[in-house]
Amino acid sequence: MTMNLPAGYNHDGATYSDGAKIIEATLDHPIEIHLWEDRTRGELWVPTYDPTGVELLADDYLRIAGNNAVDNGQRTFEFRAVKPGTHRILFEKRMGWKFTAEDRRVFDVTVLDAMSRRSL
């Protein structure tokens, strides 16, 4: 199931442009992206990004299910912007036995340096 959003879509304070969620950040301040994952089905979110623009600081998984038969929970990716500009982070929900992604989430991280922020 792929989430297709119309251009200019707005939800929970986030703006979407061409299906991407816009995240505003400043240099050297971490941002977190939370995604649900059902490991019982073999789901695994795999990020693709340019490491010259953002770097991955942490990748954590919090199991939510309350029994031993089910393993689903929230995956948290923590990134830090290392240079100003707009940097795209693509997440693909992968399953071990499939060649194509089950789902995709796209985030555009717009980064301003501290000097640009003061002048606004």
> What is the model's pLDDT at position 9?
37
pTM for this structure?
Answer: 0.77
20 belongs to a structural domain: no
The pLDDT value given to residue 116 = 57
- In this prediction, residue 50 carries a pLDDT of 96
Domain membership flag for residue 111: yes
Position 12 in a domain: no
Which tokens is 91 given? 């997440």
Q: Any residues with CB less than 8 A from the CB of 106 and at least 6 apart, and which?
A: 19, 20, 21, 88, 89, 90, 91
The whole-angstrom separation of Cα 5 and Cα 105 is 11
Over the chain (120 residues), the average pLDDT of each successive run of 10 is 37 59 92 93 94 96 80 94 96 90 95 64
CATH code at 100? 2.60.40.2020
For CA atoms 116, 26, 86, 4, give the dihedral sign. Answer: negative
Domain boundaries, position 93 = 28-118
Q: How many domains does the chain have?
A: 1
